[in-house]
Amino acid sequence: MPDPAELARIHAGCFTTPRPWSATEIAALLAQPHVFLIDAPAGFLIGSTVAGEAELLTLAVLPGARRRGIGQALVAGFFTEALARGAERAFLEVLAENAPAIALYERAGFSRAGVRRGYYTAPSGARIDALVLSRALP
């Protein structure tokens, strides 16, 4: 498994809103039996499965490595692992202003299921909505 400090470095290179996760938070999350990691050069995805549902918790690809298919491959790995763990449905929350991520998820078959108003807090203190996206797994 990759070093949580390296994962935290990648996460910090990708996010200000939501705030990046620390190495301690990542290690604690990955220690849970229902949580899994899909990693790739310059990126990773953390997901979980519980009671037939898979949640994509975070996907991070360093800015210099984007638009090369890494995110798409990570999402495909998420689907494979989720299905292997018995999930029938997948969902995620994404910053409503993150158009590139929303486009990636829509290409992967996710569609809008709802909005969480003011879910994220920007460094400025502004509250930003999250879109809830979901899709059935084959």
Which residue numbers are catalytic?
93, 105
Q: Is 79 exposed, middle or buried (0-12, 13-18, 19+ CB in 10 A)?
A: buried
Answer left, alpha or beta for residue 63, where phi above 0 means left and psi between -120 and 50 means alpha. alpha
Count of beta carbons in the 10 Å neighbourhood of residue 125: 6
Helical ranges in the chain per DSSP H: 4-14, 23-30, 70-84, 99-107
